[in-house]
């Protein structure tokens, strides 16, 4: 699975979320940041360690693509803040949104 496929899957799951408060907040913040609702949703999606382990682990295609994208600043992470109780997460940057999602 690639990063784009993973994010498309998560976006589809997000669309099926029937929480009107979340969608109202997302629409408000998207308008405030002058971006489309779709772009705001994609930028808020996260790829977690659990997703990596479910899709080939640290030897899989997804992990290799994440490492490359992170090195090219297409993905940001909280790896520099990690301690024993937190999980490393990756999310799209604006540059990554243009390059990966288009």
Domains of the chain: which residue ranges?
A: 3-101
Domain 3-101 has CATH 1.10.3470: no
pLDDT tens for each residue of 34-77: 999 999 999 999 999 899 999 988 898 999 999 999 999 999 98
Rg (CA), the chain: 14
Chain-centroid distance of CA 51 in Å reads 11
- In this structure, the number of other CB atoms found within 10 A of the CB of residue 10 comes to 17
Cα(46)–Cα(49) distance, rounded to whole angstroms?
A: 10
pTM, to two decimals: 0.85
Q: What percent of the chain has pLDDT over 70?
A: 92
Q: Is the pLDDT of residue 32 over 90?
A: yes
Cα(95)–Cα(75) distance, rounded to whole angstroms?
A: 8
């Amino acid at each position: 699975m690639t990063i784009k496929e993973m994010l498309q899957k998560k976006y589809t799951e997000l669309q099926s979320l029937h929480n009107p408060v979340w969608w109202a907040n997302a629409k408000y913040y998207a308008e405030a940041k002058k971006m489309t609702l779709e772009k705001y949703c994609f930028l808020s999606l996260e790829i977690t360690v659990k997703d990596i382990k479910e899709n080939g682990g640290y030897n899989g295609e997804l992990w290799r693509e994440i490492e490359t994208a992170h090195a090219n600043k297409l993905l940001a992470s909280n790896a520099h803040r990690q301690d024993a109780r937190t999980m490393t997460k990756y999310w799209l940057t604006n540059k990554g949104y243009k390059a990966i999602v288009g």
